[in-house]
Amino acid sequence: MNRVKRTLAPYLLVLPGGLWLLLFFVVPMVTMFSLSLQQGDIVNGYVFTGHWQTYVDAITNYQTQLIRSLVYGLITTVALVVMSFPVAYWIAFYGGKRKSTYLFLILLPFFVSFVLRTISWRQILTDDGMLLHPLKEAGLLSPGFHILGTSYAVIFGLIYNFLPFMVLPIYVALERIDPRVVEAARDLYAKPLTVFRKVVFPLALPGVFAGVLMTFVPASSDYVNSGVLGSSSTTMIGQVVQAQALANSNYPMASALSFFLMAVLLTGVFIYARVLGTEDVMNAAAR
């Protein structure tokens, strides 16, 4: 009796979460995958025909946007690692009693809706706005100069919007480092740079890994920043999916694009994990 209970216990424990995943993850995924292989139109309904051609069309018609999305995602992620590490480092090691206040300040802007914040940037960066207007009046910029509608504006928006998702995991990893380890390295005559390179950075890697996952994936599939801050030459794949699903009711194309993007991102993440050595990262993360 006891043994039965013991063997069943783990399954019972996983049941609520498992059901949740099944209902809200597996079922929609399967539905979407099925839709990507259907043909028809919204008025007459879609019928499953195993039409793989949609995938071919999706990739050939939208390769520019797919590549652009991945490139934007990559630039954003690299910039975020470079920017977030010093911030997280400073808070973790020099934050003192105010650590939580600083973290709160990082998060503060994010209590306002994502879309509203992006639209506010639009107001600031606009051609005759508070930033460019004075510079143009002073003759420092040509009247035709603009930021909105360029790749810079979109990448800037992505970096701004995903910053905390990089700072927080790196902070958590750095926070866990025992100060005595750093002290020991110094005692052994390691120069500050060597301490960072050989001790701090490797120990912070799990945080960087988590941060990259949490920013690269959503940044590559984002459609708000390119929609609000970009122009027709900065279209990202998320916008194409949105247009196909909402404006054209072309559900198979939207599903195929989403699935393809997911496959590409998963492959990318997998390679990244292999290169970094997942075991180390996972072990460190599990500690």
**Applying CB under 8 A, which residues contact another protein?**
30-31, 33-35, 37-38, 40-50, 64-65, 123, 126-129, 144, 146, 148-149, 231-233, 235, 239-240, 243, 245-251
Closer residue to another protein in complex, CB, 106/240: 240
Q: How does 80-106 read in b/e, with b if 16+ C-beta sit within 10 Å? A: beeebbebbbebbeebeeeeeebbeeb
Q: How many CB atoms lie within 10 A of CB 77?
A: 23
**Gap between the Cα atoms of 236 and 259, Å rounded:** 15
* Cβ atoms of residues 19 and 8 within 8 Å: no
Least separation in angstroms between residue 282's CB and another protein is 32
Amino acid (1-letter code) at residue 118: T
Closer residue to another protein in complex, CB, 34/278: 34
CA quadruple 122, 123, 126, 130: dihedral sign: negative
Give, in order, the Cα–Cα distances in Å from 101 to each of 87, 98, 105, 111. Answer: 14, 5, 6, 15
Least separation in angstroms between residue 119's CB and another protein is 9
Least separation in angstroms between residue 140's CB and another protein is 17
Least separation in angstroms between residue 109's CB and another protein is 22
Which H or E run includes 46? strand 45-48
Ordered DSSP codes for 186-219:
HHTT--HHHHIIIIIHHHHHHHHHHHHHHHHHHH
Closer residue to another protein in complex, CB, 42/184: 42
Closer residue to another protein in complex, CB, 53/233: 233
Least separation in angstroms between residue 61's CB and another protein is 8
Closer residue to another protein in complex, CB, 37/265: 37
Amino acid (1-letter code) at residue 38: Q
Least separation in angstroms between residue 11's CB and another protein is 24
Closer residue to another protein in complex, CB, 161/250: 250
Longest dimension (CA), the chain: 85
Least separation in angstroms between residue 141's CB and another protein is 13
Closer residue to another protein in complex, CB, 167/261: 261
